[in-house]
Amino acid sequence: MTATKAGKTRRKVKSPIGKTPTHLNLFAYNVGFGDCFLLQFVYGPTPADRRHVLVDFGTTGTGSQDSSALMGDIALDIKKQCEGSGLDVVVATHRHADHISGFATKDRGKGPGDVIASLKPKLVLQPWTEDLKLATNATGPRKKGLLPTNGNARAALALQAMNNMAEQVTKLATEQASSLPKGMAERLEFLGRDNTKNISAVENLARMGKAGRSAYAHFGIDDPMADLLPGVKTHVLGPPTVEQHPAMQKQRTTDDEFWHFNARSVATSNALATDGTGPFHPGYVFAKKGKLPMESRWLAARLTATRASQLLGIVTMLDKAMNNTSLILLFEVAGKRLLFPGDAQIENWSYALSEPKIVEMLSAVDLYKVGHHGSLNATPKSLWNGFKKRGDAKRPGRMTAVLSTMANKHGCESKRTEVPRKKLVADLKHGTHFHSTEELPSGQLYKLVRIDF
């Protein structure tokens, strides 16, 4: 055991037989609408010669399958794959339920998160915005040489307000579904639940980090996995801090800055929290069974529809904001590069893509975990066009793309925002060795993709 500056002890990790892994086994788990990837770096012939990194473990929809049972089965399979060497790193790219819900625990240790915790990961890696002490004290990223700023403090507090807003929207969608326009309740509930704090999962991640080691990352920090993955260099390309990217402190007119949300969301949040009566005071309701008089129902229905539409705009904006706290990780092994950007969208990407050295690194990507389940703005055109290893099936060294998604859950095809975006999927199929969990047969837990180094 060796001492660290934080006063903790860090486990010495016995080096595998080889100094560099021979290949990667990537387990892309079929979680429905969500992400769960187990990276198995293979250094030698025995189970002890492997290192494991779990990148996300969540879902917000599994079709006809029971989501709780499925996540339990996946957790047990992850445990099976890690036998003989253990789980080295847990990465939670950001707080959305479709990325961390599987880390939730249950009474008597029966939850999927309990199974993952039993593997005793040596490191839990999250974006800097998830530092619980940061959220409490709002002092900015806790890293030597990086001074706290008012912008960082506001960013942390904004995330807390976002969670509160999401919880209230979820309550509205479930308790007043019949009063909302067709399809609106389902949409509000999905976005609301995805943006709630997922407290059980958050607390379990914190406990695992305390038992081993925790790191809260931002653009440009030193390799947080250097002592755990011999021969693997991990670059953290996002998210930036407010100090690194001051432009995020201003509200743009063409899109929503990912640390900010419109002032009306705060006002609406307060109204929802303090007043559950709807658009009319209860004293005005004099008809039987609590119904409004006939002459008021037309107006009430339209007020409710307008309110729901405004809330949908707000919670969609919050959804984008949370996605842009996502970690962007680039693994470099023996000249091969593996890109895992979580759900990072264009505002998060813009900082990394403004750095010529980063753009050059990204141009040589060999494996791309498709961002945000294949959404419109999570694979920036400059990123996609910069991939030099794109090409048809005849291209030597053609890059690989892996997508975890489920159609008809997020976005709208008529507005060309459906997830996964059809045009993007078509380009991926044409330009890469493409693998999607959506193509897996029912009952198959994962797609195994091998990358040789």
CATH number at residue 32: 3.60.15.10
Count of structural domains, the chain: 1
- Banded model confidence at residue 448, pLDDT cuts 50, 70, 90: very high
Q: Is the pLDDT of residue 410 over 60?
A: yes
Extract the tokens encoding 210: 């305390």
Mark 75-100 as b/e (b = at least 16 C-beta within 10 Å).
Answer: bebbeebbeebbbbbbbbbbbbbbbb
Rounded Cα–Cα distance for residues 229 and 371 (Å)? 24
| Tens of pLDDT, residues 17-64 | 568 999 999 999 999 999 999 999 999 999 999 999 999 999 988 877
Q: What's the pLDDT score for residue 208? A: 96
Residue 291 covered by a domain: no
Residue 354: inside a domain: yes
Is the pTM value of this prediction over 0.85?
no
Long-range contacts of 268-274 (CB under 8 A, 24+ apart): 268/165, 268/310, 268/311, 268/314, 269/161, 269/164, 269/165, 269/168, 272/168, 272/169, 272/171, 272/172, 273/164, 273/168
Termini Cα distance of the chain: 31
pLDDT band at 290 (very low <50, low <70, confident <90, very high): low
Residue 410 domain flag: yes
Please give the residue range of the domain that contains residue 363: 10-254+320-452
Percent of the chain with pLDDT over 70: 64
Least Cα distance to 370 among 425, 426, 444 occurs for 425
Q: Which long-range contacts (CB under 8 A, 24 or more apart) does 138-145 make?
A: 140/241, 140/242, 140/243, 141/216, 141/218, 141/241, 142/216, 143/218, 143/221
Is 310 contained in some domain? no
Residue 1: is its pLDDT beyond 50?
Answer: no
Is the pLDDT confidence value at 132 over 60?
Answer: no
pLDDT for res 213: 95
Residue 105 has pLDDT above 80, yes or no: yes
Task: Report if residue 28 sits inside a domain.
Answer: yes
Report DSSP letters for 296-355, one per residue.
HHHHHHHHHHHHHHHHHHHHHHHHHHHHTT--EEEEEETTEEEEE-TT--HHHHHHHTT-
**What is the SS3 assignment for 162?**
helix
Domain contains 203: yes
Note whether 251 and 257 are within 8 A (CB). Answer: yes
Evaluate whether residue 285 is within a structural domain: no
Task: Give strand ranges (E) for 128-226.
Answer: 214-217
| Pairing mode, strands 214-217 and 123-127 | parallel
Q: 294-334: per-residue pLDDT in tens?
A: 655 555 565 555 555 555 554 445 555 666 789 999 999 99
Assess if residue 268 is contained within a domain: no
Q: Which of 336, 333, 340 is nearest to 38 (CA)?
A: 340
148 vs 377: which has the higher pLDDT = 377
For residue 59, the surrounding DSSP H or E stretch is: none
